[in-house]
Chains A and B, each alone.
Chain A
Amino acid sequence: MNIQTHEHDVIVIGAGGAGLRAAIEASAGGVSVGLVCKSLLGKAHTVMAEGGIAAALANVDERDNWKVHFADTMRGGQYVNNWRMAQIHAQEAPARVRELEAWGAVFDRTPDGRILQRNFGGHRYPRLAHVGDRTGLEMIRTLQDHGIHQGMAVYMECTIISLLKDGERVVGALGYYRENGRFVVFHAKAVVLATGGVGKAYKITSNSWEYTGDGHALAYHAGAELQDMEFVQFHPTGMVWPPSVRGILVTEGVRGEGGILVNSEGRRFMFDDIPENYRNQTAKDEEEGFRYCLGDKNANRPPELLTRDHVARCIRREVKEGRGSPHGGVFLDVSWMTKPGAFNNFKDPEFVRARIKDPVEHIKKKLPSMYHQFKELGGLDITKEPMEVGPTTHYIMGGIRVDAETQMSRVPGLFACGECACGINGANRLGGNSLSDLLVFGKRAGEFAAKYAKERSAGRINPQQVEQEMRSALAFLDSPLGQENPFQVQYDLQNVMQDLVGIVRTEGEMVKALERIEELKERAKRASAPGNREYNPGWHTCLDLRNLLTVSEAITRAAIERRESRGAQFREDYPEKKAEFGNRNTIISKGPNGEMQFRWEPIPEMPAELKRIIEEMK
């Protein structure tokens, strides 16, 4: 087998926040680490995160602590979260954020010089450490600039297409360099997947080309289980106009800073529908909501900051019932506060005026990249006019099923962390909980992968498996079975998922989606890529498509089985939440004949201590 091979103890696939943090920790464990990513280093999705990192530092509101964060996360996830992961996450996030500061990150500051925290949907207290609205950039650059000095080898623009096994155990991975199409084998004792999400399965998404569910599919084919795949988060506020920017995210920070949602009749419709379990925590009127945004500890949050699943559905309802904006969204407005007399009918306008001297400058300072994004891409000044927004596919709560403590999947030697892993978020993720998840569980995955590697000798790579994978990848270029355009197949898949397995679902539509996915699988096999192996996007798309189809099928199958509405899953045919589904997770795995299998996994009983916390925080 004449193919470049790199030997490492641990290989980490993915260099977003989770992968970088895992690689740093594994290096600290004294083992040899290779870090592989599809893009250049520092370009992973994490760079796009805007709003912040959730951690109960209690710098802004001293009432915050891990228990409140834990209860918020469980409530947001509608209690199908892995409670142990939610607990670990809430307990360890503060230390992980402080560690970033020790590595050079520069967060915005409180008046007394500590890390500033902002409000976000579903979080009871201001909890998100942030840097304006470019927190992800700060995080990835800090990890990157720290990481490259920890002794790891970095392989950029290298795509992994298959995990290699020795019996039950994972012993490496096969990939190709995008630049020249050459194959490369990574021989390792442990493999950490940190490949991010699946957004490219949908037409309207905030996600980049990389989000083709590679890690999910790699793990699935290697024998790991996928959990809760039906829970796909549709972020309520994506751009809707102009068409070419449709789906690009408008951070929740806009609402956290006092942005309001309004329909075409000028009505602030979020006040009309407040779920029972959030009623105690929601503002009674507009003034109270805005005071909350300005840091009044006695005020409750405005209804715009209810959980994402709920806000997204309210927006969809307004549009569907004919009260939408001209381009099929609703209005998100921060410019209201710049209008003369904006605070005149408040009972205490001085409270606001003391905090916002110059509303235009206030908006620009708090939301610099949103100001920039709308100015440059939408041709609109957000300090003067409302934005038009609508739901966009944003995040997947479901993913590779892992052990809460170690992040190892059921396949020995295969670990997963970050968005491609599952557990902490349940049926709906709270904003800011992803970045903290990456740090907390990235660290754990790195730590336990290193430990696992130290305790074992290297496994054997099976040259036949490598040969076969290379042959099937090259077939699209050298001897295609047909003339399908891979971009067209991907486009058609995105339409199927958008229309049939989107924000509102029914059994009939999803069964139709499965049929369409079968057809698309056949077409994907006949895809062909003209040109050669050097940096050939057509070929790369042929390979990515296989993963996209696998995750699309998994999402659809799991969504069919969960015959209820909970969190991000809304079933028009089963609009109610059902207790019988409240204590189990959906599990997808690969059957003995290569078919996709489904089963339910009961959620273990929560310890009394955690139950008590949830009760107390109700």
Chain B
Amino acid sequence: MGKVTFRIWRGDKSGGSFNDYQAEVSEGMVVLDAVHQIQATQAPDLACRWNCKAGKCGSCSAEVNGKPRLMCMTRMDTLPHDQPVLIQPMKAFPIIRDLVTDVSWNYRVNKKIPPFKPRPPDAPDGTWRMGQEEVDRIQEFRKCIECFLCQNVCHVLRDHRRFGQTDTDGNLTSGKGPSEAELFGGPRFMIRVASLEMHPLDTVNRLPLLQKELNIGLCNITKCCTEVCPEHIHITDNGIIPLKERVVDEFYDPLMWAARKVGEALGIRRRKSLPIVKP
């Protein structure tokens, strides 16, 4: 298929620029292959993250021709070859180097979410019973590979630009500081909370967290997150909207939460929840 020009952003915290590289493109090749080829032959210090090369680990997120993508799942034959292929790091997160960004903020948000706590076992042998239909909807959320592409495009997160960045000693080096940095949890953590809140066995109430710390109210359902999700998770329709409803319910009627948790434990689907969008 011949040579193609790749215009790759190179630089670090202090700034950078686009550099052009040529790479030989062959059948079935993905963008990550080209980056590796360039690394091996022309720019050994070109930084990028990857692990699985099969869309399973969520490491290789970047922006390809302006679109947030997994580089390992972006086939070259879906891109025009007569103009340079533009590769940039995710825009929302602080740069470390080249295509590598500091996503540590996400791990800090995750740690705030109280862990799963199951109801007592259903059977004497210490196990539980759940139907496949009951787990289908949270299995959708649990497909998340933590590529953080949804976080990258969410305008609430982009506008606030408040991902605190820490150095390896844990000192904050940029961003506005942990308290402000965590103004909005972002779509990834909304569906993580959803996967816990809608877990048939779980007993913890995370609605106050959603409302006060993760500030679910700031999401105005633009669905940009859903559009970029490589796992095709219906982040907004199946995750955020039902959670927003629950938060509202709880605000007006705290007994609702308790009633719902019991209902879920008994396998009763909530009256007000929206129909699940099938993948």
Q: Which positions in A face B, CB cutoff 8 Å?
A: 4, 39-45, 47-48, 98, 101-104, 106, 108-109, 112-115, 131-132, 134, 136-138, 141, 145-146, 148-149, 154-156, 158, 177, 179-180, 182, 184, 208-210, 241-245, 248-249, 369, 372-373, 376-379, 485-488, 491, 529-532, 534-539, 541
What does the 1/0 interface line of B40-61 toward A look like (CB < 8 Å)?
1100111111111111111100
CB distance from B228 to the nearest CB of A (A): 15
A103 partner residues in chain B, CB cutoff 8 A: 115-116
- Asked whether, in the complex, the Cβ of A242 is within 8 Å of the Cβ of B28, the reply is yes
- Asked whether, in the complex, the Cβ of B47 is within 8 Å of the Cβ of A104, the reply is no
Give which listed residue, B12, B30, B56, contacts A244 with CB less than 8 A.
B30
> Across the two chains, which residue of chain A brings its CB closest to B12?
A534
- Asked whether, in the complex, the Cβ of A43 is within 8 Å of the Cβ of B127, the reply is no
User: Can you list 30 residue pairs at the A/B interface with Cβ under 8 Å?
Assistant: A4-B168, A39-B49, A42-B146, A43-B52, A45-B51, A48-B51, A48-B56, A102-B118, A106-B130, A106-B138, A108-B135, A109-B130, A113-B130, A137-B143, A148-B107, A149-B115, A179-B97, A208-B50, A241-B28, A242-B29, A245-B30, A245-B53, A485-B40, A485-B41, A485-B44, A487-B40, A536-B45, A536-B47, A537-B44, A538-B44
> Across the two chains, which residue of chain A brings its CB closest to B267?
A113
- Asked whether, in the complex, the Cβ of A134 is within 8 Å of the Cβ of B116, the reply is no
> Across the two chains, which residue of chain B brings its CB closest to A534?
B97
Q: In this assembly, does B75 line the interface, its C-beta being within 8 Å of a C-beta of chain A?
A: yes
- Asked whether, in the complex, the Cβ of A114 is within 8 Å of the Cβ of B47, the reply is no
- Asked whether, in the complex, the Cβ of B111 is within 8 Å of the Cβ of A208, the reply is no
Q: Which positions in B face A, CB cutoff 8 Å?
A: 12, 26-30, 33, 39-41, 44-59, 73, 75, 96-98, 100, 103-104, 107, 110-111, 115-116, 118, 126-132, 135, 138-139, 142-146, 168-169, 196, 199, 202
Main SS at interface, chain B:
loop
Having A4-B169, A485-B40, one finds 15 other A-B pairs with CB under 8 Å, namely A44-B51, A98-B126, A103-B116, A104-B116, A137-B56, A141-B142, A145-B116, A244-B29, A248-B54, A372-B55, A378-B28, A379-B28, A488-B40, A529-B45, A537-B46
> Across the two chains, which residue of chain B brings its CB closest to A104?
B116
CB distance from B24 to the nearest CB of A (A): 11
- Asked whether, in the complex, the Cβ of A208 is within 8 Å of the Cβ of B130, the reply is no
Do A41 and B107 contact each other (CB < 8 Å), given the known contacts A134-B143, A179-B168?
yes
CB distance from B69 to the nearest CB of A (A): 11
Closest 5 CB pairs of A and B: A242-B28, A538-B44, A531-B45, A113-B129, A104-B116
A43 partner residues in chain B, CB cutoff 8 A: 51-52, 57-59
B110 partner residues in chain A, CB cutoff 8 A: 145, 148
CB distance from B171 to the nearest CB of A (A): 12
- Asked whether, in the complex, the Cβ of B45 is within 8 Å of the Cβ of A377, the reply is no
B39 partner residues in chain A, CB cutoff 8 A: 487, 537-538
- Asked whether, in the complex, the Cβ of B45 is within 8 Å of the Cβ of A539, the reply is yes
A488 partner residues in chain B, CB cutoff 8 A: 40
- Asked whether, in the complex, the Cβ of B139 is within 8 Å of the Cβ of A248, the reply is no
B142 partner residues in chain A, CB cutoff 8 A: 106, 131, 137-138, 141
CB distance from A586 to the nearest CB of B (A): 31
Q: How far is the CA of A245 from the CA of B27 in the complex (A)?
A: 10
- Asked whether, in the complex, the Cβ of A40 is within 8 Å of the Cβ of B103, the reply is yes
CB distance from A478 to the nearest CB of B (A): 14
Q: How far is the CA of A443 from the CA of B103 in the complex (A)?
A: 29
B12 partner residues in chain A, CB cutoff 8 A: 534
Q: How far is the CA of A521 from the CA of B35 in the complex (A)?
A: 27
Q: How far is the CA of A90 from the CA of B75 in the complex (A)?
A: 43
- Asked whether, in the complex, the Cβ of B56 is within 8 Å of the Cβ of A47, the reply is yes
Q: How far is the CA of A346 from the CA of B145 in the complex (A)?
A: 41
- Asked whether, in the complex, the Cβ of B98 is within 8 Å of the Cβ of A535, the reply is yes
CB distance from B8 to the nearest CB of A (A): 13
- Asked whether, in the complex, the Cβ of A184 is within 8 Å of the Cβ of B44, the reply is no
Q: How far is the CA of A103 from the CA of B196 in the complex (A)?
A: 11
Q: How far is the CA of A210 from the CA of B40 in the complex (A)?
A: 16
Do A106 and B199 contact each other (CB < 8 Å), given the known contacts A242-B28, A243-B28, A534-B97?
yes
B196 partner residues in chain A, CB cutoff 8 A: 104
- Asked whether, in the complex, the Cβ of A376 is within 8 Å of the Cβ of B55, the reply is yes
Q: How far is the CA of A43 from the CA of B57 in the complex (A)?
A: 5
A182 partner residues in chain B, CB cutoff 8 A: 168
Q: How far is the CA of A140 from the CA of B111 in the complex (A)?
A: 15
B146 partner residues in chain A, CB cutoff 8 A: 42
Give which listed residue, A47, A98, A106, contacts B57 with CB less than 8 A.
A47
B98 partner residues in chain A, CB cutoff 8 A: 535
A136 partner residues in chain B, CB cutoff 8 A: 56
- Asked whether, in the complex, the Cβ of B115 is within 8 Å of the Cβ of A208, the reply is no
- Asked whether, in the complex, the Cβ of B55 is within 8 Å of the Cβ of A243, the reply is no
CB distance from B48 to the nearest CB of A (A): 8
B33 partner residues in chain A, CB cutoff 8 A: 244
Q: How far is the CA of A487 from the CA of B130 in the complex (A)?
A: 50
> Across the two chains, which residue of chain B brings its CB closest to A245?
B28
- Asked whether, in the complex, the Cβ of B55 is within 8 Å of the Cβ of A184, the reply is no
Q: How far is the CA of A158 from the CA of B145 in the complex (A)?
A: 21
- Asked whether, in the complex, the Cβ of B40 is within 8 Å of the Cβ of A47, the reply is no
Q: How far is the CA of A377 from the CA of B107 in the complex (A)?
A: 30
- Asked whether, in the complex, the Cβ of A530 is within 8 Å of the Cβ of B44, the reply is yes
CB distance from B266 to the nearest CB of A (A): 13
- Asked whether, in the complex, the Cβ of B135 is within 8 Å of the Cβ of A106, the reply is yes
> Across the two chains, which residue of chain B brings its CB closest to A488?
B40
